[in-house]
Amino acid sequence: MFHPILKNILDEGIIEKKNNGTYKVERIITSPQSSQININNKKEPLLNFCSNNYLGLSNHPEIISASKLAMDKYGFGMSSVRFICGTQNIHKELENKISQFLQTEDTILFNSCFDANGGLFQNLLSEGDVIISASLNHASIIDGIRLSRAKKIVYRYDDMNDLSKQLIESKNYRIKVVITDGVFSMEGELAPLDKIVSLCEKHQALLIVDDSHATGFIGENGQGTPEYFSVQNKIDLYTSTLGKALGGAIGGYISGHRSIIDWFRNTSRPYLFSNSLSPSLVAGAIKSIDIITSQEGNQLRKNLISNTNYFRNKMKKNGFQIKEGIHPIVPIMLGDEKISIQMASDLLSEGIYVIGFSYPVVPKNEARIRVQISAIHTKYQIDLAINAFVKIGKNYGIIK
Ligand SMILES: Cc1ncc(COP(=O)(O)O)c(C=O)c1O
């Protein structure tokens, strides 16, 4: 029989989650990931406004075909970690391609960005070092820091006075590291990297940027938030994911100074003790970077900017309060937790798939619906979403 004490604890925990609206129900998609998807208990397709498919590459025919060819040529799985017998020429090709794309010295692949962040600090820093981390950083960064013996300090993610103060107070530590998300995913807000770089230079701190919500589409060439702020050569390490704009499958990486990457190949535990990325995923990711660095990539980024501006402007004109910015993550601020969950559910009934976020994922009284725009949304699809927001927003008295 399952342990009765643990069962009770879990049952109570689940009931609490159901009562406070944080219990997660997964919708089952029966089609490929795209701007329009099918889910299993709905006849009509839904317009998808909640995936990280920023450039629409998740179902791109050339990526699928590259992935299939690689499966034929290189097999299904590697059955090994990288350093035993799990490194094929395409793993090295992808690492080189990422380094070229980001203009860094070297890159190391992980099975996810969660793993990359988890393996960042454990064997890089020790007692006497300090990690100064932005308050809204991703859970994987927080966990990565927990695994390190370095001192941890949190600064308010957008407050440069606070960061400056923390750096001054950390002056006696041996190594100082500042780590920030390039884009804060609940806010759709870019970290002010130009200012962060200046502070890091002034205080001789290393800077690590997790650019998961920017790689491929922020910056003129899609090289991310450092490109957007023209500070590319000032970033010590990037971490990012292959699971969002770069084809959306799975995988992550750390890119930057060769000596640090070499150190990670020898010491980073999620790299050393976990299987290699499968060849079909690697080949798909290579193709996604080829597309991102081509004319097609330029066009997709233009579409994404145009779609994002269109949605942001029209929602504001209709009276919605949105977080200002340029990012395709657009939080529609509603405040009330129940309204945000209920509105998202009503929007789903109108064929618009969006998600409401409430405490503890976002601060109390800042509940919101997070909309994510893609380059492959048509203006017609975006208008359908806006019209549904207007209809339902009026029902709840959010707009007049
Ligand atoms: C900022 C950030 N870092 C890391 C991750 C984890 O990426 P992955 O899905 O590759 O593990 C995410 C994904 O949500 C993210 O948003």
**Domains, the chain, ranges and CATH?**
19-48+295-395 (3.90.1150.10), 61-292 (3.40.640.10)
Cα(114) to ligand 1 centroid in Å equals 6
Inform me whether the pLDDT recorded for 355 exceeds 80: yes
Structure-block tokens of residue 228:
């957007």
Question: Per-residue confidence at 262, pLDDT binned at 50, 70, 90?
Answer: very high
Cα(211) to ligand 1 centroid in Å equals 9
- What is the mean predicted confidence (pLDDT) over 131-140? 97
Inform me whether the pLDDT recorded for 358 exceeds 90: no
Cα(118) to ligand 1 centroid in Å equals 11
Question: Per-residue confidence at 215, pLDDT binned at 50, 70, 90?
Answer: very high
Strand order in the sheet with 46-48: 36-37, 46-48, 352-353
Cα(115) to ligand 1 centroid in Å equals 9
Residues in contact with 397: Cβ distance below 8 Å, sequence separation at least 6, in sequence order? none
pTM here is 0.97
Inform me whether the pLDDT recorded for 362 exceeds 80: yes
Q: Is the CB of 256 under 6 A from ligand 1?
A: no
- The per-residue pLDDT for range 27-61, each reduced to its tens digit, is 999 999 999 999 988 889 999 999 999 999 999 99
Task: Please identify, by atom number, the ligand 1 atom nearest to the C-alpha of residue 183.
Answer: 1
- The per-residue pLDDT for range 83-118, each reduced to its tens digit, is 999 999 999 999 999 999 999 999 999 999 999 999
Which entry of 60, 244, 287, 314 is annotated as an active-site residue? 244
Structure-block tokens of residue 313:
């402007």
- What is the mean predicted confidence (pLDDT) over 74-81? 98
Q: Is the CB of 138 under 6 A from ligand 1?
A: yes
Q: Is the CB of 140 under 6 A from ligand 1?
A: yes
Position 37 scores a pLDDT of 97
Neighbours of 26 (CB within 10 A): 5
Which entry of 97, 138, 213, 327 is annotated as an active-site residue? 213
Annotated catalytic residue 164: no
Question: Pairing relation of β-strands 355-357 and 367-372?
Answer: antiparallel
Q: Is the CB of 112 under 6 A from ligand 1?
A: yes
Cα(238) to ligand 1 centroid in Å equals 13
> 373-394 burial, b for 16+ CB within 10 Å, e for fewer?
bbbbbeeebbebbbebbbebbe
Task: Please identify, by atom number, the ligand 1 atom nearest to the C-alpha of residue 137.
Answer: 1
How far apart are alpha carbons 332 and 355 in whole angstroms?
11
Cα(143) to ligand 1 centroid in Å equals 12
Position 305 scores a pLDDT of 98
Q: Is the CB of 322 under 6 A from ligand 1?
A: no
Inform me whether the pLDDT recorded for 384 exceeds 80: yes
Neighbours of 25 (CB within 10 A): 5
Inform me whether the pLDDT recorded for 360 exceeds 90: no
Closest residue to atom 16 of ligand 1, CA basis: 212
Choose one of 138, 180, 185 to mutate for the ligand 1 pocket test, by most ligand atoms within 8 angstroms of C-beta. Answer: 138
How far apart are alpha carbons 310 and 346 in whole angstroms?
23
Question: Per-residue confidence at 278, pLDDT binned at 50, 70, 90?
Answer: very high
Annotated catalytic residue 185: yes
Choose one of 113, 145, 372 to mutate for the ligand 1 pocket test, by most ligand atoms within 8 angstroms of C-beta. Answer: 113
Annotated catalytic residue 244: yes
Question: Pairing relation of β-strands 252-256 and 237-241?
Answer: antiparallel
